[in-house]
Structures are given as C-alpha cells and as structure tokens.
Amino acid sequence: MKANLDVLPLNNWVETNGKPLIIAGPCSAESEEQVLETARGIAQNGYAHVLRAGVWKPRTRPGSFEGKGEEALPWLQKAKAETGLKTAVEVATPQHVELALKYGVDILWIGARTTVNPFNVQDLADSLKGVDVPVLIKNPVNPDLALWVGAFERIAGAGINKMGAIHRGFSNAQETKYRNSPMWQLAVEFKTLFPQIPMIGDPSHMAGKRAYLAELTQRAMDLNYDGLIIESHRNPDEAWSDASQQLTPDALGEMLKNIEVRKATYGTDFQNQLDNLRGRLDNLDRELLEVLASRMSVVEQLGEYKRDNNVAVLQLDRWKQVHNSRADWAKSLNLYPEVVEELFKLIHMESIRKQTEVMNQQNA
Ligand code: PEP
Ligand code: MN
C-alpha cells in the first residue's frame, strides 16, 4: 500500500523544541468564557502548543449539542491572542474549511466520522486546493488502514504537505474497557508505511473515561508518538459533550508531568546493548520456529496414523485437554494465559489443517 506522500517534518509548522506536540482543549467550544478560561489554564501549565475546540460537532444522534458554529470562532481568536497558543478545529465540510480559514484557525483536523467517507474527504480536499494549512487526519471509526491512507492521498492531492495522523481508536461492536479500541498495531503499521507522517495519540477518545487517560497517554509515548491531543475543560463534569473523558487544565498538567517521554535517539552503549538483546531475541525466535517445525512433523505422523486407522481428525476431548493444560503451564511459567490460549488456538488450527491434508492424500 506504499503511497508517496510528500509531508514536511512537524517542526515546519509548529515548534515544539523536540518535545511531543501537545494539543489540548475542550471537546466543544461552549461559550467565550469557557474557551478563554480553559485556554488560560492550559497555557499556564506550559505543556500545550495548540488549543483544540470543536465548533461543529458530529453527533451520533440528532438532538445532542451540535456545536456553536461560526459564533465560536472569534473566541478561539481571542484565546490565541491572549495565550499565544495556536488553534485547531474539526472540519467536515467545505463551508467549515472556509469559515475556519476566514477566522485564522491555524490547524484543521478531519474527524473519524468524516475520514470514513471518501466523498466528504474529496470535498474537503477540493476546498483546500491552493491553501497552505496543516491538516490532521483522524483514523476512520472502523479499523481500515486503506481508508485512512486514502484520506491522506486525497488531502495530499490538493497540495497540502503539512499533515499529521491522529490515532483515536476504533469503535467496538461489544462493550469493552475503552470507548474505542486502540488497536495499536494498526497505527504502528501506519507509522511503518509512512514514517514521515507525524503520529498523534488521542487518548481521550480511546479512553472515554478520565481514569484511563494516563495509561493510554503513556502507551502512546512508549510507541514514540510525535504528539498528543487531549480534551481539557474548565469544568469537565458540566461539559456539553464528552464530559466523562475530559480533564481540568490542572489535572492535565499533573498527568503530563508524570508521563515518561521516551528518547528517540540514544548513545552507542545503549545501541550496543539494544543490538545484543535483539540478537538474543532473533536466536530465540529461530528456536521457537524450529520447535514449531518439529511439532508439525509429529502432527503429520499423527495424521497418517489416524488416516490408516480411519479415525476423525478432530477429537474434542483431546482438544479440551490441550486447551486447559497449556493455559495451566502458561500460568506456572508466568505467561499470560489468554495470550497462550490464543497462540494454541492458532497452532491447533494449523495442526487440523495439516492432518486434513494428510487424510486427503490417501483419497487423492
Ligand atoms: C473530537 O475530537 O471531539 C471528535 C469528535 O473526535 P472523533 O472524530 O475522534 O470522534
Ligand atoms: Mn470529543
């Protein structure tokens, strides 16, 4: 899925002095006072570079607060003039783009519910032709990497070269701990395909609850993300949208103070030790595969034996016993039983496939 996207490094459009880019602010702009007070608090603790505030809110059901619209844009201008923070809003239509630019918004972002729709993204791209403004693109609500990449291709096609990805997680079919499942692997895949595109974590929309913000923020830093976008409100419990996931500016400052930012570069001693440990992992992985290959050869013999005696491939009692004993062994080895169970499901599936192949050899 390699696409050649021309993207300028982050420090071409916002100076963070090597620190992670921090975008913070309320889910929604509600009133001039609320925007200004929140912005002051955020600016005071000194972590943030950009003030976010939703002005047009995509709501799942009609009747919820849908944003103040154009009326709110001068509040952001005031907040910027007073605090020096740059400003960012979500845009979902060409009219939003036009208004945001008219009021001097510094950074635009495309929301998760817009990224899913190529028609919408193309309309936005058309409205951005000839404009020089940074655009951040949230992952689509569903875990579809190509859809996310496609949005970048469309926006890049309009000549935008200041772009960033926002990883906000993916909606869940079932009830889970987080409001949106992070599925970190997908964002890591994105980073691998497009190392030039800054990756910004959105722990707020992953978490859905304040209590989970710190662990998700730390995780994003552990994966060397380039920045964070976090919702902060002067009075979170009274927020008109996303009340349970927002933090006061003070609590935000406190949380960020306790986050470990991992270094991206390191000295030779560290590199040597890293190479040494990675070398050991390479050897162990090789051994793992050799053991797996031996296992498969026993599986093959077992398949032949079952075939010659006309016994079915799958014997449920035996599988139950394998399933339970491996989970017990995992526990005694301090391995996470759920992970080991998943692993053995895969191994068992492959064994069944192999034995079925052996069975059919006779029939062929
Ligand atoms: C938001 O940032 O407030 C928002 C609506 O997020 P998302 O597009 O990730 O749902
Ligand atoms: Mn929100």
Q: Give the three-state DSSP class for 147.
A: helix
Does residue 330's CB lie within 6 angstroms of at least one atom of ligand 1? no
User: Whose CA is closest to atom 10 on ligand 1?
Assistant: 112
Tell me: pLDDT of 283 over 90.
Answer: yes
Is 70 a residue whose pLDDT tops 90?
Answer: yes
pLDDT at 2 over 70: no
CA distance 326 to 307: 26
Give yes or no for residue 112 CB within 6 A of ligand 1. Answer: yes
Q: What is the pLDDT of residue 360?
A: 87
Lowest mean pLDDT among 35-49, 225-239, 309-323, 343-357: 309-323
Instruction: Return the pLDDT at 361.
Output: 84
- Centroid of ligand 2 to alpha carbon of 198 (angstroms): 21
Give me the pLDDT at residue 363, please: 58
Cβ distance 135 to 108 under 8 Å?
yes
What is the rounded distance in angstroms from the CA atom of residue 110 to the CA atom of residue 65? Answer: 19
Whose structure tokens read 């976090």?
Answer: 230
Sequence letter at residue 361: Q
Strand partners, 107: 88
HSE, CB side, 13 Å, CA atoms: give it for residue 337.
10
Report the DSSP pairing between strands 170-171 and 180-181: antiparallel
- Ligand 1 mean position to 44 CA, how many Å? 25
CB 124 within 8 A of CB 114: yes
Atom of ligand 1 minimally distant from the CA of 166: 9
pLDDT tens digits for range 83-142 = 999 999 999 999 999 999 999 999 999 999 999 999 999 999 999 999 999 999 999 999
Residue 265 has pLDDT above 80, yes or no: no
Q: Which of 51, 137, 138 maximizes ligand 1 atoms within 8 Å of its Cβ, making it the mutation to test the pocket?
A: 138
Reduce the DSSP state of residue 5 to 3 states and report it.
coil
pLDDT tens digits along 196-221? 999 999 999 999 999 999 999 999 99
Cβ atoms of residues 67 and 57 within 8 Å:
yes
Nearest ligand atom owner, CA of 113: 1
CB of 163 closer than 8 Å to CB of 155: yes
Strands 21-25 and 50-52: parallel
Query: CB 362: neighbour CB atoms within 10 A?
Result: 10
**pLDDT value of position 362:** 64
pLDDT digits (tens, 9 = 90+) for 153-174: 999 999 999 999 999 999 998 8
Give the mutation target among 113, 183, 244 for probing the ligand 1 site: most ligand atoms within 8 A of CB: 113
**pLDDT at residue 63 in the model:** 87
- Give the bridge partners for 167, in sequence order: 201
Residue 268 pLDDT exceeds 90: no
Q: Is there an atom of ligand 1 within 6 Å of 111 CB?
A: yes
How far does residue 15's CA lie from ligand 1's centre (Å)? 24
Are 70 and 34 in contact by the 8 Å Cβ rule? The answer is no
With b for 16 or more beta-carbon neighbours within 10 A and e for fewer, the 267-295 pattern comes to: eeeeeeeeeeeeeeeeeeeeeeeeeeeee
201 C-alpha vs ligand 2 centroid, how far in Å? 14
Say yes or no: CB of residue 140 within 6 Å of ligand 1: no
DSSP 16-55: -TTSPEEEEE-SB---HHHHHHHHHHHHHTT--SEEE-BS
Residue 171: other Cβ atoms inside 10 A: 14
Reported as a single tens digit per residue, the pLDDT across 303-342 is 999 999 998 888 888 888 888 899 899 999 999 888 898 9
Segment holding 86, helix H or strand E: strand 86-90
% of the chain at pLDDT higher than 90 = 83
Q: What is the pLDDT of residues 15-64, one digit of tens each?
A: 999 999 999 999 999 999 999 999 999 999 999 999 999 999 988 888 88
Alpha-carbon distance of 181 to 204, in angstroms, equals 12
Ligand 1 and 14: CB distance under 6 A: no
pLDDT at 175: 84
